[in-house]
Structure 1
């Protein structure tokens, strides 16, 4: 693991995985820059974290990642307020979707705009700062669903997360040289972790609590591996099964 990343930006931090990771990093004494669309929930979270951990700085801003100009502005403001950014966790995402061709193009389009275009803006903004600093850690939150095409309501979501994983890998490849050794890129591929998004899905024995999932995510982030399935067990194994299974079997599982 590299030196401690003190100043951390988390997008989509008002609920779910982002909120859980914010709590875990606050307990580790990290300064946090939290952004999301729901500012009331951000404010409540910031108050909770600073009261529990008075030695850390928590700053918040409203951000809809589909407003790409705002992404660049907010990231730069966070950098200036904290005196630098050590890690950006590109977590903001959308899980809505409907089967292709059933008249719900707008819902599927919103998922792509948030999870692909919005993510691209986050990566661009983060990497501009990291390249100027010659140091930083970009974390892209993808999904195990990125491994294969999925049917039904998950089709567009899975495709967007496959794009996320590919984008992160390409950025990582760009920064493997000695000249950019201070910049790390991690792709997280969570399985079933309880959150607002997964709350709409069918319950499964593979689902872990939000607290357990957040701890596993933070552990993987701190290790700064290139790619991590979260939780490690059973998703590291199941992802390989999904990768090579016949599509007829994948269809039953999705």
Structure 2
């Protein structure tokens, strides 16, 4: 069995609607956004590693709407070489592509005085290289079409190099920069590129974390993301108050920031 595998919940053919690919769909923001997009009229292809959760999500969506509105593909984003062929297959299965969302990500906690290359490598390979493996061919496709929308889920963690979880911070900072570069390439061609910077969202990624604040449910993040997609915004924070917090954080002098322990 390959890492990438397609499953249709029923034999009902997909009907022509807005079409989206969502990578990193099995839980959290991805699952909530999948429900939101289909509720708003999308046909959607869902990708993730965890087949049981992905299958359940797909069945829930299709049962709710009484037809095949979602199809799924088991896929590991570090399986880079399969992406071009898989992307082409999904576009054929959907009958086209209007929006692409990259939400896949991992976070491996490492102690403040610890250095773990293997965990750091896994973080970079998933959050950054996995993103580029998808974003680049999708950008090329939309460049040819002179239309489309790309949504990248980054994080407020990419705003500064904090002492906690350096590799995760690095992966999100680099992803934000890459998304900006793609935006500058594609904007004049009619392709919208949205960078999403969530704060703390109630997902498995933060289940063991302590002293968190402004934690929002995935459904709130999904609502904000969909609203931004509709308005074809270029960047949002969710919740929005993080924009002002990060404005302050980015301007804290380095000699002070180095003394902070978060």
TM-score over 0.5 (shorter chain): yes
Partner SS for 2:202: coil
Q: How does 1:11-160 map to 2 (within 5 A)?
A: 11-55=23-67, 57-99=69-111, 102-152=114-164, 154-160=165-171
Stretches (4+) displaced over 4 A: none
Q: What is the distance in 2 between the residues matched to 1:211 and 1:169? A: 26
CA drift of 1:126 comes to 1.1
Aligned to 2:179: 168
Q: What is the distance in 2 between the residues matched to 1:39 and 1:84? A: 24
Q: 1:84 to 1:250 in 2, by over 3 A?
A: farther
CA contact (8 A) 1:168 1:187 kept: yes
CA drift of 1:146 comes to 1.1
Partner SS for 1:112: helix
Aligned to 2:4: none
Q: How does 1:217-236 map to 2 (within 5 A)?
A: 217-232=225-240, 234-236=241-243
Given the alignment, which residue of 176, 181, 195 partners 1:187? 195
CA contact (8 A) 2:61 2:69 kept: no
Q: 1:83 to 1:236 in 2, by over 3 A?
A: same
CA contact (8 A) 1:10 1:89 kept: yes
CA drift of 1:68 comes to 0.8
1:46-98 deviation line (CA, Å, top 9, x unaligned): 00001111255211001111111122222211100011111100111111142
CA drift of 1:101 comes to 7.0
- Structure 2: state its 5+ residue gaps: 1-16
The two structures have a TM-score, normalised by structure 1, of 0.90
CA drift of 1:217 comes to 2.3
Q: What is the distance in 2 between the residues matched to 1:249 and 1:206? A: 21
Aligned to 2:5: none
CA contact (8 A) 1:97 1:111 kept: no
- Structure 1: state its 5+ residue gaps: none
- How many residue pairs get aligned? The number is 245
Q: What is the alpha-carbon root mean square deviation over aligned residues?
A: 1.8
CA drift of 1:118 comes to 0.6
Q: What is the distance in 2 between the residues matched to 1:73 and 1:211? A: 32
The answer to whether the aligner puts 1:197 opposite 2:208 as a matched pair is: no
Q: Which has more helix, going by share of residues?
A: 1
